[in-house]
Amino acid sequence: MSNPVIGIALSGGTLKAAAHIGVLSALEEMGIRPHHLAGTSAGSIVATLYAYGYRDQELKHLIQQFPGYKLLDYGFPLTSAVMSTFFHAIPHRNRLIQVYPRGLIHGNKLKKYFHKLLIGRECRIPVLFVATDLLSGDPVIMRIEPSNVSIPQLPRALPIHQEELPACLLGSCALPAIFSPVPFREYLLADGAMRHYIPVQALRESGCTHILAINLYKLQYREYLTTFVDVLARSFEILLRESIDNDVVNSGDVLVIEPDFAKIKTWKFTEMIQSVRVGVQAVVKQQLQIEQFLKINPRLPHKMAK
């Protein structure tokens, strides 16, 4: 039997995505290094940093030094919506110029931050990430790979250059109405979680035979709903769960790892390190199952288990 081609799919999850760092670190401690990575939304950031050589201590340092709210450049969505409506209401000879409504956050500072993190580094592992095209509604799968590695030509994946990477990452994370959509080539990119919360299929198309799908979202039981906002939010939660189920439909080539966030009560930039520990614990809990799935020799319990 040939050796497994391992892919790791990192879901979205906003600040919870710090758990992906713990998962990747714990897997590496077990001797597991992926041949391909894929990420959606915040998962695309962690996947890209890992593919560009960031590892356990460096990633934890980034969390501890994360600028947080300093990266949020606030916009004026109502003003931009009026300007966009006015622009499109007037005939123009040159429609190559497009004006799109802004979100509450422009994202320019975040894009510059991504650029800074990647300066002087090269891609080491092929990585794919998912965004959603707001114009067509279709998923947009983008890929970047080491210069000495070639992955199969995926019919749905766009090869991108490193100078395009910060904009593409921002597009994968651009939660509609919160972040401004990101124009990229013929697309208008927004959060990839709307189409593929866990980018399993992209890894299958890359030739991965064994995929670890890291899911940071669980649909919790709600005892009651009190307002129409609760009903609306709950509806979106259910639709997201359906998307997840479609992504990780029962198949012999996928093992799902779901970190447990039950003990984390608040979500702050300063407490992201707790999510890292949760990610480590998830791998330790499923260590035997992971070893059997990947058919690797068992290792001693992870030294970070406590």
- Which residues sit opposite 176 in a β-bridge? 179
Could you say which of 3.40.50.150, 3.30.365.10, 3.40.1090.10, 3.30.930.10 is the CATH number of the domain covering 6-294? 3.40.1090.10
CA 285, CA 28: separation in Å to the nearest integer? 15
pTM of the model: 0.86
* pLDDT above 90 for 147: no
- Mean per-residue pLDDT of the chain: 85
Selected residue with higher pLDDT from 299 and 72: 72
Q: Quote the pLDDT of residue 176.
A: 86
**Residues designated catalytic:** 41, 191
Q: Quote the pLDDT of residue 80.
A: 46
Q: What phi, psi does 164 have (nearest 5°)?
A: -90, -15
Structural domain boundaries of the chain? 6-294
- The rounded percent of the chain whose pLDDT value lies above 70 is 84
Q: Quote the pLDDT of residue 78.
A: 46
Beta-strand pair 157-159/254-257: unpaired
CA 276, CA 16: separation in Å to the nearest integer? 9
Q: What type of residue sits at position 186? A: E
CA 38, CA 203: separation in Å to the nearest integer? 7
Q: What's the average model confidence in pLDDT over 10-35?
A: 94
- Across 201-240, b (16+ Cβ under 10 Å) vs e yields bbbbbbebbbbbbbbbbeeeeeeeeeeeeeeeeeeeeeeb
Beta-strand pair 210-214/139-144: unpaired
SS3 percent helix, strand, coil of the chain, rounded to 5, is: 40, 15, 40
